[in-house]
Structure 1
Amino acid sequence: MTTSPRQHCPPRRDAAGYLPIEDYGALGDGRGIALCGSDGSIDWWCVPNMDSPPLFDRLLGADEGGRFAITPDAPFHVERRYRPDSNVLETRFVTEGGTATLVESLNSGTAGRLPWAELARRVEGVEGSVTFLVTLRFSRQADTVNPYMSRAGHHDLFHVGHVLGLFLRSDNVRVDRMDDTEIAATVTVAAGERATLAIVAGEDEPLIVPPIAEIDERIDLSDREWRDWSARLHHDGAYRDELVRSALALKLLLYSPTGAIAAAATSSLPEKIGGPKNWDYRYAWIRDAGYSIKAFLRIGAWGEAKSAFTWLLKRLGDGQPQVCYTLDGRHVPPPTEVDVPGWRGSRPVVMGNLAGDQHQHGIYGDIFETAGRFVACGNVLDSVSAETLSHLADECADRWRLKDAGIWELEDPQHYTMSKISCWQALQRAIELVDAGQMPSTCRERWMRERDRIAAWIGEHCWSEKRGAYLMHPDTDRLDASVALAVRFRFDGQDRLSRTLDAIDRELGAGAFHYRYTGADKEEGCFIACTFWVAEARALLGQQERATAMFEAAMATLDGHGVGTYAEMIDPKTHAFLGNTPQGLTHLAIIQAIATLAGRAL
């Protein structure tokens, strides 16, 4: 296995100006995430928060979209990687006249996240001489704002809607043109020379004007902070580098002001080019929070686990839990179309998400699995949380017979097998929490009866001896790859689960990866997390050799594309990434698979 995903390629923008999704690396500071292309262009950055309107949005509109590009003025190819155990990104540009490295960071400070957004980009000469063209253009946010520049003393200010920012740079950066729509500049570095360019920004707030030398120093400070965090992760087995890289990607998605976990950093990147399945994933799903907390606990990231678990419990205290929330805990608005071209012409481009008004039984299992794991790690629940969970278990016992939208948030309500398994999981964990003295025991007997009824219902209605598998739901012969998670959830019947995995491999497998469910190949790419769920399930069933081979085949393909931040889906033929990126579920599934292969307890 590779120890550090590294990208080697010439610039790959298509004729319309779009980069492949796998050509982006991600930077983050605990509030926002910037996507940096392999040609030196930052094409996506929402400021100050991941779900704020974009400051740069070339990702969804190559021609007129906002970008912050630092690109050689001559033909080049690139080598790029993250610094080891860090989210500081390095891109080495090799031209005929010389070589230079672009080092990029969304900076933090010694006390953690800065109270402003600070995007820092350092150009270092390695050999010869390289001249870079700098383009700074701000998003018009589908013509809802009109960016403009102004001067305050010696400082260049930009105004984009509610965002006020500074464009700061070293003295050897020459500004050639500046107007309300664009800044064009030039910088040349020879071997041993360097220049730093930065943006400092905030929303409706006064700004600090840090010296450019101080911003430059914070790039290396941020690198040390990332490496210190990575060093504290608990994993000494195989695939440590892969685990740390996915943990770092997941850490980027943790919204530090509240503890929410964003599903991904982007909106509307298509699951199939030109198809309509383009969603806004800059929200926090209960499912993703639960999986993230468990993954953080499993690798010893206690602070992140506690923060995310507190966020989750607070949502329960707000009333009946929703499927997803905004990063600050509000209701997710329904999708509205935004009038921009979309990545490679894939429309609609949307803000908002339908899942905000759905019900999924999976939230019951996700919440109780999280609470159970939290306690199993030696922690304790407070009385208010325990009472809240008790009421939630009652709700699960009341509602499990209803249809729902399922884990895949489909518009066709059904008795999805995985949803019923999640209800079984919730009540089983509730019983375990009672037995551990962490929850009141008043309804324990009722929960036991309903748990057993759920298991019997699944056995009677969801198993197909003809197909040799659990079906997606009783009224179909389709399969669902998410049923692989039932093994992690400790659902009864290892023989049936093993046969289901075999059927999933036969019907949903495509190369090293898997589609989500039968028929998905006609409308989307393979869902990367599914493959790691299947690999993990096989390891838990004692099929270690088969699980390892499946894991390594998938990772070898992923590591051959990009720098270690992975999207939601992949084309099984071209291996091009599809869907929003970086995708939390993908990196969560990798972490869990690695921990399971290493024999770490669930």
Structure 2
Amino acid sequence: MGFLTSGPDGLAGPVWATSEDPDGAATRPVPPQRYADLRSYAAIGDGRTVALIGRDGAVDWLPIPDLDSPPAFAALLDAQDGGRIELAPALDAALLTVTRRYVPGTNVLETTWTTADGGVVRVTDALNTGIAGRLPWVELARRVDGVAGSVPMRWRVAPGTCLARATPWIYRTTHGDVLRVDSITMAVRTLGEMDPQVHDQQIDGRFTTAPGSRHLLGLVATESEPLHLSTPEQLDAGVDRTIVNWQAWAGEFGFDGPWSEAVLRSALALKLLIHSPHGSVAAAATTSLPERLAGGKNWDYRYAWIRDTAYTLNALFRFGLQEETHAAVSWLLRTMRRHGPDLSVFYSLSGDLPGGHEYPDVPGWRGVGPVVVGNAAADQLQLGVFGDLFDIVRLCVVNGNLLDAETGRLLAGIADRACDLWQRRDAGIWELEEEQHYTSSKLGCWQALTCAVQLAELGQIPGDPARWRDEAERIRTWVHEHCWNADVGAYVWYPGTDELDASMLLHAASGFDRGPRMSSTIDVLRARLGAGPLMYRYSGMDAEEGTFVACAFWTVSALAWVGRRDEARELMDQLVPMTNDVGILAEMIDARDGAFLGNLPQGLSHLALMQAAMALADDQPAADPA
């Protein structure tokens, strides 16, 4: 059987052993069951779904056909039965050196293995896109180029149970072997001599590379519809087309400031989370990756949060990306009109109200459960979403768009609703069970009403903005009187406590406070919630979970907005290298060893990096109109 070892790069990698038949003859390798470090994953995507690929060459996560579909390949959460697509040298991991990069300006991954005797092989991974955008089917292409020497390779396509929903099977057709699980139909396509063998509801094989050789392992898949059998040559050509498509998109992205490479990589990571059929923005590509190793804090982030959508648009508008921003704004406003004026915290990627949640009987990453499909926070009251919504609309208008009359009337009613609700307790930005008068929630309503005033003055929403202006001033006064704790020297989490909440950092950027009180709050947050350059979300979390990546980058932005730019640059220089080897960020980082925790790629983490870079890009950052 296989077992875990530490490879040359310090990451755990599988060592393959062989099984023997009754006569003692060696047969095919027995695949090990393992969970890779979360830092080891790179992400590729096609505008509908995202695949995660480890440094060992295994695709351990691939929902089909959409990001929020049941995952046909989910070894990430169930190493035994989740399913994976493997492609790697058939050698002991200790004898291999692995390097990776994205093809510049793309979400196409290159992995290069070098053997101890000088053999070199390069694998290029793409979820292919079409001539005019995304394909109507999923098309994974794994191109294998021999670079030097000869390298023995092995591959395996083994669908899983879609998180304990169904059992995969294989059947023979006139077009070859077809794999099915639940309502998903898949076919393996190969280029070159790949020695495919069918057994145990999987297809695997071996081959050897040579200098200049080319092989390809491909998968085409659909759900509840006919399967298009792309030829291996078409899949191979699709890799080149996908590279061109990504580079054309990246060419429209403009940022020439410091950390430009990290900013572009974060923009490309965000692009993976934009669901092109609808325009919605997923919070992350995965579910149930733990925020703490003791378990119990696992969530499904394959939904579109109003908050995350607002931060995404804030960044993308700045970089001149028009199609994604228009699609996301239109999706959100269309979804709101469909479901009424009471805002949900998040919606499904298709714009439906979130349903219930369930706990599939699978072990979870490294046995840390529970695995959850769905999210129980859907019914919470979170007042901060008012500010997020109006910030989205304000950005839309100031970037040259006009609101339609129906949307204007809807927004006027929502502004009145914010006036009525701001004095209520809520669950806060962190979706907590205990409702309180959270400071950042009050400031979300303040931000909503100041934006509503501006939109009314621009003639974009109807009505007299006098009430909104007066109520915004009441909120400002209330926060100054009740949420500033002079003994602590900071804006506190809620009135009457000395505990802290890092989301207060966002309100330097919002324009609420960029003076001495905010500067002092930054210092207290770093002293009490900081862990080196990183930061926990709120008081007490150092004993429960990892540091929250976005909070550290929010600190950079807040330092820049209060004029402490040298400190902000120094902190930024410490944080940017904390991505993994290909620039991906998770939700959290364990301050003890740098390990990733939580779902990934995490949109909020990448957004915070981009916003921090933008805050530092101008010598004199100007306040956002609010």
- Give the aligned partner of residue 272 of structure 2: 252
Letter in 1 for 2:531: A
* 1:437-476 correspondence runs (5 A): 437-442=459-464, 444-476=465-497
Task: Name the structure 2 match of 1:588.
Answer: 607
2:152–2:209 Cα contact (<8 Å) kept: yes
Q: Is the 8 A contact 1:280 1:351 kept in 2?
A: yes
Cα distance between partner residues in 2 of 1:304 and 1:166: 32
The letter of the residue matching 1:12 is A
**After the TM superposition, which residues 165-314 of structure 1 pair with which residues of structure 2 at under 5 Å, given as runs?**
165-175=186-196, 177-314=197-334
Q: Which runs of 5+ in 2 are unaligned?
A: 1-6, 15-31
Task: From the superposition, tell whether residues 520 and 10 of structure 1 become closer, same or farther in structure 2 (CA, over 3 Å).
Answer: closer
Which residue matches 1:562? Answer: 581
1:155 is aligned with what amino acid? G
Partner residue in 2 for 1:351: 373
Equivalent residues of 1:364, 1:422 under 8 A apart = yes
Q: Is the 8 A contact 1:11 1:78 kept in 2?
A: no
CA deviations over 1:496-538 (Å, ceiling 9, x no partner) = 1111111111111101210001110111100000111110111
Contact residue 85 and residue 157 of structure 2 kept, 8 A: yes
Of 16, 29, 39, the residue aligned with 2:56 is 39
Question: Partners in 1 of 2:448 and 2:577 — Cα distance?
Answer: 35
CA drift at 1:436: 1.6
Q: Secondary structure at the match of 1:35?
A: strand
Moved over 6 A (4+): none
- TM-score w.r.t. structure 1 length? 0.96
Deviates more, 1:15-24 or 1:475-484: 15-24
| Alignment-derived partner of residue 28 in structure 1 | 45
**2:74 matches 1:53:** no
Name 2:595's counterpart in structure 1: 576
Is 1:71–2:88 an aligned residue pair? Answer: yes
Which amino acid is 1:575 matched to? G
Q: 2:543 aligns with which of 517, 522, 531?
A: 522
- C-alpha distance after superposition, 1:319-358 (max 9, x if no partner): 1110011111112223311111111110111111012111
| Residues 472 and 480, structure 1, Cα contact 8 Å, conserved in 2 | yes
Instruction: Tell me which amino acid in the other structure corresponds to 2:201.
Output: T
Contact 1:72–1:132 under 8 Å retained in 2 = yes
Contact 1:294 1:305 in 2 (8 A): no
Q: Which runs of 5 or more residues in structure 1 are unaligned? A: 1-6
Q: Pick 1 or 2: higher relative contact order, CA cutoff 8 A, min separation 6.
A: 1
CA contact (8 A) 1:35 1:43 kept: yes
Corresponding residue number in structure 1 for 2:112: 92
Counterpart Cα distance in 2 of 1:371 and 1:302 = 14
Give, in angstroms, the shift of residue 142 of structure 1: 3.9
CA distance in 2, matches of 1:143, 1:115: 26
Any idea what the Cα deviations from partners look like across 1:57-102, whole Å, max 9, x if unmatched?
1101123320000021112220001111110001111112411011
CA RMSD in angstroms comes to 1.5
Deviation at 1:216, TM superposition (A): 0.5
Does residue 323 in structure 1 map to residue 345 in structure 2? Answer: yes
* Secondary structure of residue in 1 paired with 2:206: strand
Q: Percent identity?
A: 43
2:26 aligned residue: none
1:155 aligns with 2:176: yes
CA contact (8 A) 2:192 2:214 kept: no
Decide whether aligned partners of structure 1 residues 345 and 475 sit closer, same or farther in structure 2, where only a CA change above 3 A counts.
farther
User: Would you say the 8 A contact 2:148–2:211 is kept in 1?
Assistant: yes
1:421 to partner: Cα distance: 0.6
Q: Distance in 1 between matches of 2:610 and 2:604?
A: 10
Alpha-carbon separation, structure 2, partners of 1:297 and 1:143: 41
Aligned to 2:133: 112
Give the aligned partner of residue 22 of structure 2: none
Q: Assess if the C-alpha contact under 8 Å between 1:8 and 1:80 holds in 2.
A: no
CA distance, structure 2, for counterparts of residue 272 and residue 577 of structure 1: 10
1:399 corresponds to 2:430:
no
1:24 CA displacement: 0.4
Q: C-alpha distance in 1, partners of 2:520/2:163?
A: 50
Partner of 1:360: 382
1:490 corresponding residue in structure 2: 511
Aligned with 1:58: secondary structure?
coil
The one-letter code matched in structure 1 to 2:608 is A
Deviations 1:98-137 (A, max 9, x none): 1101100000012000011001101111111111111111
- Paired amino acid for 2:146: G
Deviation, 1:562, is 2.9
Pick aligned residue for 1:427 from 449, 454, 460: 449
Change (3 A) 1:330 1:545: same
1:83 match: 103
Retained in 1: the 8 A contact 2:314–2:392? yes
CA offset digits 1:395-422 (Å, max 9, x no partner): 1001000111100001111110000011
Distance in 1 of aligned mates of 2:535 and 2:11? 29
Evaluate the alpha carbon distance shift between residue 465 and residue 16 of structure 1 in structure 2; reply closer, same or farther with a 3 A threshold: farther
Cα distance in 2, alignment partners of residues 576 and 297 from structure 1: 32
Equivalent-residue separation in structure 1 for 2:183 and 2:168 (angstroms)? 10
CA distance in 2, matches of 1:11, 1:467: 43
Q: 1:412 aligns with which of 429, 434, 448?
A: 434
- The aligned residue for residue 501 of structure 1 is 522
Q: Equivalent residue of 1:174, what SS?
A: coil
Distance change in 2, residues 1:167/1:401 (3 Å): same
Aligned amino acid, residue 217 of structure 1: A
- Indicate the residue corresponding to 2:18 in structure 1: none
* Per-residue deviation, residues 275-307 of structure 1 (Å, max 9, x unmatched): 210111111111111111111101111111011
CA distance in 2, matches of 1:461, 1:315: 36
2:19 is matched with none
Gap change, CA 1:533 and 1:404, over 3 Å in 2: same
The AA in structure 1 aligned to 2:528 is E
Post-superposition offset of 1:144:
2.3
Give me the whole-angstrom Cα distance separating, in 1, the residues matched to 2:175 and 2:313: 46
- How far 1:236 sits from its partner (Å)? 1.8
Does the 8 A contact of 1:8 with 1:79 survive in 2?
A: no
Q: CA deviation at 1:16?
A: 6.1
**Whole-angstrom CA distance in 2 between matches of 1:492 and 1:197:** 55
Alignment-derived partner of residue 3 in structure 1 = none
Cα distance in 2 for partners of 1:463, 1:213 equals 65
Helix, strand or coil at the partner of 1:215 = helix
User: Alignment partner of 1:151: what SS?
Assistant: strand
- 8 Å CA contact 1:33–1:252 kept in 2: the answer is yes
Deviations 1:5-34 (A, max 9, x none): xx9836524896111111000010011000
1:144 pairs with 2:161: no
C-alpha separation between the residues in 2 aligned to 1:515 and 1:158?
44
The whole-number CA distance in structure 2 between the counterparts of 1:269 and 1:334 is 19
Contact 1:83 1:90 in 2 (8 A): yes
> How many pairs does the alignment contain?
592
